[in-house]
Structure 1
Amino acid sequence: MSDRQLPKWSELKPLLRPKPITINATDRRLASAVTIADLRRIAKRRTPTSVFDYTDGAAEEEHSLRRARETYRDLTFHPRVLTGHGEVDTTTTVLGKPSAQPFGFGPTGFTRMMQHEGEAAVAHIAEKMDIPYGLSTLGTTNIEELAAAAPGTRKWFQLYVWRDHAPAEDLMARAKENGFEALMLTVDCPVGGNRHRDVRNGFAIPPALTAKTVLDGAMHPNWWVNFLTTPPLRFASLESWGGTVGEMMNALFDPTMSLDDLDWVRRSWDGPLIVKGVQTVEDARAILDHGADAIVLSNHGGRQLDKALPPVRLLPKVREAVGPDAEVMVDTGVMSGSDVVAAVALGASSVLVGRAYLYGLMAGGERGVQRAADILASEVKRTMALLGAATVTDLRPEMVELAPQGASR
């Protein structure tokens, strides 16, 4: 039997450690987010359904996105122990320049629609984190505005090619004049993907004030106040569009692009050229042989062809085919720093994230993007330490085992 006694105040006092009171509501929300999934839940509460679904959704039945996330979820790590490593260094090289993290912020369209601070907020955090940021052709901040807002950020310009090539030539010239480091040519959009959530929501660009959206707006007043009281949405390449994104792609994008068009792009752009949307070993080899400086293995976040192969599954075969020196990036389905580390171990030079930082943006503007970046960076560092990798170059394919395809279905 233990003797019992009333505790003394001197004994209780060290145990009483109340959390500091956070006055700012945004800071309080973001402090509660431990993972990107937490930020996603906050974003869903704070954003109109049609806007959240545009960001969160994918093509048709969304198998491509779901399988990509399941691939990362179901992989197995094989850590090394007793390696003698101390401090972890997450620095790597991207397009010949140092990057503080093995991930960057990929291009996303209509970003100010998700939250009014938009592309400038994302670029500011990219500069703070010392990582690259890609501005989309369909961005809601134009080339000159972003260059002025984030002069110190490593800026890439993502290019879609219209049926009329003249606008693309103009965009490339403007990007070059405004200090953009690289051009990212996206090639997986001969037609627009069929995004069922957008169709069911009656989603238009920009959002229209219908009875449905007004009712939804009553549930998300802060978003609508910001949307209506900040400068109107403007796009890098077009003024507005009255239909869905898929309909816009079908009307404007050039479905006839071929490898020969890389020569045309090269005549207009003399900096690093990244080709995004590669989904086979054959295309990876051909595009690099045709003069691209880097490729991105990507199925457009699952937003184009449903049932496409998760890009991370293609990584080992592509790396074997193109050799150790080719720059091979990857995106789609990345929701944690451990996903980033797994992709790099499997052969990625670096990883592009999109939805992950957009959830942060919708959850809390620029501070939300910072929270997303901090979560990813801390997870990268911790995962590397637990794997026994002191540097990014220590990550090896044998540290990761992918589950057989279809095992979780």
Structure 2
Amino acid sequence: MWQDWLLELLKGFGKLFLHPVFYLSFLFAAFLGVNRVKKERRNFTVRAQNAYFELKQMVPLGLIVGLCISILSIGLVLVVPMEFIIYTGIFTVVLALIGKTRILSPVYTAGLGIIVSSVSIFLGWDYFLFSQSNLQSSEYIFPTAIILLGFLIISEGIFVRGNGVKGTSPRLRKSKRGQVIGVHLLERAWILPVFLFVPSGILSIPLEWWPMLTVGNQTYSLILVPFLIGSKMQVQGEHPFWALRNVGRNIIILGSIVIVGGAASYFFPLASIGLVLVAIIGREWITIKQRNKEKNQSFYFSRKNNGVVILGIVPDSPADKMGLRIGEMISKVNSIPVQDKNQLYIALQKNSAHCKLEVFDNDGEIRFVQRALFEGDHHELGLLLIPDEKVHGNEAV
């Protein structure tokens, strides 16, 4: 028996490399990285992170979360039709190719996959991509797909809350009044490999009391499916760390609600389609709520009368090594009050060997930071700042 399980696990793992979404995920992350670098250089002449940053972020957390969901998937015997996997992959490929990162949320890719799979099984569609379904329209497999959708939504929340806060991209925008302000943009994708049961195979699961689908001789196979999960969000009214943490928490709550609804839909199978719509509406509500919150807040990254706000920091730069953080405000440089980038630059030149900064941290408390400067450091501290009003371009300090 255990040999059968081991064989199915190995075969399922091998099928991961046959899935086009697996390769598309890396290409899409590379595209996001290159595109981000171009826009940051356009705004600041330097980039905050290198072009490989998105590639480095997409795998590690995804493997951990994917392993956890796979354990739950196998333990709960989450059986999904092959149609669901194929249609979800098709929607993922299309949305990635047209660059719609925000709509790569699983509520759209997996949610639409559930809806179209339901229709295809009910109508008995037959495509060259796969043979006609061995499921009957009276056999309801989709409560398990809804539970899986809930897990995928929770994964998105974990990615946004745990990883999205790392390395958000600083940008410059103009307000409605023509004032140059700073914003932070999260646009990232993660790959999430998950083991799922599909009907037909050599695995027999003798749990008659378990509310799962019974198909033919009750045999199943395991397949490792890569899900590409994307998220895009702009923050301008608060610190990006707290904004993304709050949005991530709300997404996790939405996913938990979908899981509970999926469990309940075992008794009311037709409610599965309604739950997909609830997930889509809920995800849009989270986005709209955040946007409205942003509109009612003053700009977090804007010119101040009592200091210079740090919009971004280049990794491994002198500013990074001094412990400066995004959102902090530099009020004095070498005991000289500064109100804009030009004044900060002039104050740095007052002492070419040493730099002492008076900084208001993100809690509004004053702290002092100092560091010996080497030749050229005062020209390239690694600070990304909002440009002065009379300066059309912007450069890193």
Q: Calculate the TM-score normalised by the size of structure 2.
A: 0.24
TM-score by length of 1: 0.23
Relative contact order higher in (CA < 8 Å, ≥ 6 apart): 1
Q: Which has the higher strand share?
A: 2
